[in-house]
Structure 1
Amino acid sequence: MNHRTQSHAHIRDFHDDDLDGIVRLWEHAHDTGEAPVYSLAEVIASCQADHAVVAVAGERILGAAVGRAAHAQGWIVFFTVFTDEAPAAEPERIGAALLDRLERRMAPLGLGKLSVLVADSGNGVSHLVGNGFEVRHQLRYLERPLPVQRRELDLLKEVGGRILPRHLWRNVAGMTKEKMLLEERLVTPLARPALASRYGVLPPRAVMLFGPPGTGKTTFAKAIASRLDWPFVELFPSRLADSPGGLPAALRQTFETVAELEHAVVFIDEVEEIASRRRGDPPSPTQGVTNELLKLLSEFRDLDGRLLICATNFVRALDAAFLRHGRFDYVVPIGLPDAEARRAIWGRYVPVGVIDGIDLDALVDASEGLTPADIEYAVRHAAQDALAGALRAAPVSTATGTIVLPETDDDSPVLLSTAHYLRALRSTRATVSKSAVRDFLEDIDALARL
């Protein structure tokens, strides 16, 4: 293009036929260090749905300004001008004209402010400052992509999936060794595949969690999904079995739907119910389901951005083919909480107002061999017992026969002590028997794969 053609650039509203030119502008800005803040998809969407103007010379688009309005404030989502072939003053003229045209287009919206985010290294700042924009210092731009896009919401709803809160990983009390193992083996390779690839590490596709009941396998599965910020899809074989085509067909349909999601953590608890040992002739009622699940697992492993987590209380009951190398990347034991984990669990459940007066060391020692669920039960039992004792000690109105409570709840002292918790622990039956612990340790030696 020559300078004469460039100098005759005129400004007009965006047309759908200009999309190719917008793409070239965006790519040019990206390649020359302008680093557009908004993605190409967002820019195109605003061109079509919001407000956009372009600078055109002949059939060539030389610049564009794209804006959108939100809550009485306008945002310029894209602004750039080709400068390579223009006379020195021409880009400034084109840029000023673009901004002026965009502002006039958006003025009827009643906006009080027009704002724009630009890259530090870009040349667009000079155009903007020269047209009345003021640089605001000590500001930082932050962004976070949403885990599920609009087009995936219906798919996620179809399989009963959901987005979990992001704090679940932090809320896993103690269990430092297990969390570090899962962080190294699962989370990092999946969340940062490029980094893993530099070390020759392949992102995992499937993991088996095993251990006694109540040790937190489901909690860990949810925490992994939360840590990855991926949708969590929990499959319930008992519910799928009620589907018209039966459990195998329902499993296949669910996995096919999950395959359409960009990311997903799929969780099957008590997987031994549908993947127990096949025993030849006559075939067991679950043999067809096990066969179908093995096929689905093989297909699932070909998909990126997905993780299957299965959990079982009885890993030795699983079909041998199910645990074979190449199906599950890791077989991870999740056992009873150690002393550090028990301390963290007690610290989470004991009320803040009384914890300083509680002997946590005594509670940690007394709760050895208990699951997190057992400890939570003891905490709640102690709290109820202490509250009942406080109510029994309160005076009773002779007129109404009811307990006389303080005017406000804050005026009532909390009579909750270490003794309450120790008494509750003495009446708490351990979920996991000593024989189950022995079996678990044997399963670690025989089946764990880390």
Structure 2
Amino acid sequence: MGRITIRDFHDDDLDAVVRLWWEAQSSAEPPVYSLAEVTASCREDHAVVAVRDERVVAAAVGRAAHAQGWIVFFGILEDARSENVSGALFDALERKMASIGLSTLSVLMPEGSRVDLLTSNGFQMRHSLRYLERQMPVQRREIDLLKDVGGRILPRHLWEQVAGMRREKLLLEERLVAPLAQPDLADRYGVVPPHAVMLFGPPGTGKTTFAKAVASRLDWPFVEVFPSRLGDGKSSMAASLRDVFERIGELEHGVVFIDEVEEIASQRSDPPTPTQGVTNELLKIVADFRDREGMLLVCATNFIRGLDTAFLRHGRFDYVLPIGLPDAEAREAIWRRYVPHSVAAGIDFADLVVRSEGLTPADIEYAARRASQEALVRALRADPAEGKRAPDAPTELATEDYVAALSVTRATVSEEQQATFLEDIDTIARL
């Protein structure tokens, strides 16, 4: 049996490192880092191997984060453990990484692992530490693609920020989020995860907000397709739509959102309208989505009666869900979002909630911002030279200011539109 030598990692060693990782994976001490992370660090960071008779018997792989070095993988065959190969490997990796100015070299081990190979080579145990991790929603290979299709990763917790609207949130949680986030549980009960859903309701009721909240809740990229931007003069709207969805289809996961879908899904007629081709293409895309895992198409419309009847047939959209005006709890949350914290204690929110019934979130935001602007104008007029409120100027923002702003705020949704929406819930909604 030949002598063991230590050398730098070569590309030809990758298969051997993979075998070492798989052996460790099936042992009582599985690796902390994934195989993809280990192989990436072999190629791009720092790695050394121990070789006997041209056969790799051990490997150590590291990466650096500022002045902190991390061993992302250490594997050694059983027949090489008795020859202090570990010490030589750690020393070689340390020398290799020292040139980049590291102050410490650290390693994470599964609970219950043997640590004698580490402690005997100068590593010290740090107690009362916990390791936590979370998966990135988009892998590196998808970042450029996501930018290309105009997608983005939304902040977490958008779901929790949608206050009130309990009925709508419960529907979305039970029908969309749970089956997609817990496919094994859905399969247990014979539930097929949804692939396409239609949201409908009066304008300004928060359909886009709910679509984004679903993406945030799933921790999936959010891609919005704008009907008004389809077609560049070189290709038709239908071809442009097909091209966009072909590129989106390369993502592993995603919530794809089309707002005001009635622009490209209106009733087809004879003779054909200029948009009939794109309507046909969208119907094909919806059908294709039903064969895709890990993707959800969300369409939204203010005028569901204007959609082509083919869109609302069973087998196209899994659910047709209504999104209506904000309830009392939601209206209070919206008011509190826009009323400055410095004056909130003196505001009668209960009164504002009652007075803003029938308004959309955008209407309430307008009234709140108008009240703030009027208060600023009063302060400036009281002392125009300095822009400060004079001692005898009107008091700071009060409930009366918001009531005054509400008195000149036009409701986006008329009583007739609200009545039509309620009828559509009875005749069109599919929950």
TM-score range, shorter chain: over 0.9
> What residue in structure 1 maps to residue 46 of structure 2?
51
Residue 399 of structure 1 corresponds to none
Of residues 228, 239, 243, the one that matches 2:218 is 228
Indicate yes or no: 2:23 matched with 1:28. yes
Partners of 2:289 and 2:305 in 1: CA distance: 24
C-alpha distance after superposition, 1:252-308 (max 9, x if no partner)? 0001001111111111111111111123x2122222111111111111221111111
Q: Distance in 1 between the 2:326 and 2:101 partners?
A: 60
Tell me which of 247, 254, 261 is aligned to 2:237. 247
Number of residue pairs aligned between Structure 1 and Structure 2: 429
Distance 1:151 1:110 in 2: 29
Give the counterpart of 2:423 among 442, 446, 449.
442
User: What TM-score, normalized to structure 2?
Assistant: 0.94
Instruction: Report the more deviating stretch, 412-421 or 164-173.
Output: 412-421
Indicate the SS of the match to 1:354. Answer: helix
Structure-2 residue corresponding to 1:159: 149
Which residue number in structure 1 is paired with residue 410 of structure 2?
Answer: 429
Match of 1:192 in 2: 182
For 2:267, the aligned partner's letter is: R
Deviates more, 1:97-106 or 1:132-141: 97-106
Report the alpha carbon displacement of residue 237 of structure 1 after superposing the two structures with TM: 1.4
Q: Using structure 1 for the length normalisation, give the TM-score.
A: 0.90
**Superposed displacement of residue 403, structure 1:** 5.5
Show CA shifts across 1:187-229 (max 9, x none): 2222232332223222211110000000001111122222222
SS in 2 for 1:370: coil
1:414 deviation in Å? Answer: 5.8
Q: Is the 8 A contact 1:54 1:62 kept in 2?
A: yes
Q: Output the CA distance in 2 between the equivalents of 1:184 and 1:235.
A: 25
Q: Does 1:302 align with 2:296?
A: no
Residue in 1 aligned with 2:271? Answer: 282
How far is the alpha carbon of 1:337 from its aligned partner?
Answer: 0.5
Give the secondary structure class of the aligned counterpart of 1:298: helix
Gaps of 5+ in 1: 397-401
Instruction: Please point out which of 205, 209, 216 is paired with 2:206.
Output: 216
Change (3 A) 1:414 1:218: farther
Contact 1:272 1:317 in 2 (8 A): yes
2:388 to 401, 405, 427: 405
Q: Could you tell me how far apart the structure 2 residues matched to 1:313 and 1:405 are?
A: 44
User: For the structure 1 residues 133 and 287, does the alpha-carbon distance in structure 2 shift closer, same or farther, using more than 3 Å as the test?
Assistant: same
Q: Which residue of 1 aligns with 2:12?
A: 17
Aligned residue type for 1:151 = R
Q: Tell me, in whole angstroms, the C-alpha distance in 2 between the residues paired with 1:146 and 1:243.
A: 38
Change (3 A) 1:419 1:92: farther
After the TM superposition, which segments of 4 or more aligned residues of structure 1 sit over 6 Å from their partners? none
Matched position secondary structure for 2:106: strand
How big is the shift at 1:176?
Answer: 2.2
Structure 2 residue corresponding to 1:328, chosen from 307, 311, 317: 317
Task: Encode CA deviations 1:391-434: one digit per residue, 9 max, x unaligned.
Answer: 34x356xxxxx356269xxxx99611111111111211111011
Q: Secondary structure at the match of 2:194?
A: coil
Contact 1:11 1:97 in 2 (8 A): yes
- Which one of the candidate residues 243, 258, 275 is aligned to 2:248? 258
SS at match of 1:353: helix
- Residue of structure 1 equivalent to 2:337: 348
- 1:111-153 per-position Cα deviation (integer Å, ceiling 9, x unaligned): 2111111111323x22111111111112222222222223222
In the aligned structure 2, how far is the partner of 1:174 from the partner of 1:348? 13
Task: Give distance in 1, aligned partners of 2:76 and 2:394.
Answer: 70
Write the distance in 2 (CA, Å) between the matches of 1:404 and 1:126: 70
| 1:174 match | 164
Match for 1:111 among 87, 93, 102? 102
Distance 1:416 1:107 in 2: 60
Measured at CA, do residues 9 and 167 of structure 1 come closer, stay the same or move farther in structure 2, by a change above 3 Å? same
Aligned pair in 2 of structure 1 residues 9, 338: CA closer, same or farther (>3 Å)?
Answer: same
Compute the RMSD of aligned alpha carbons: 2.1
Q: Following the alignment from structure 1 to structure 2, what is the Cα–Cα distance between the partners of residues 81 and 237?
A: 57
**Selected match of 1:202 from 192, 199, 224:** 192
2:63 aligned partner: 68
The alpha-carbon distance between structure 1 residues 209 and 359, as it changes in their structure 2 partners (threshold 3 A), is same
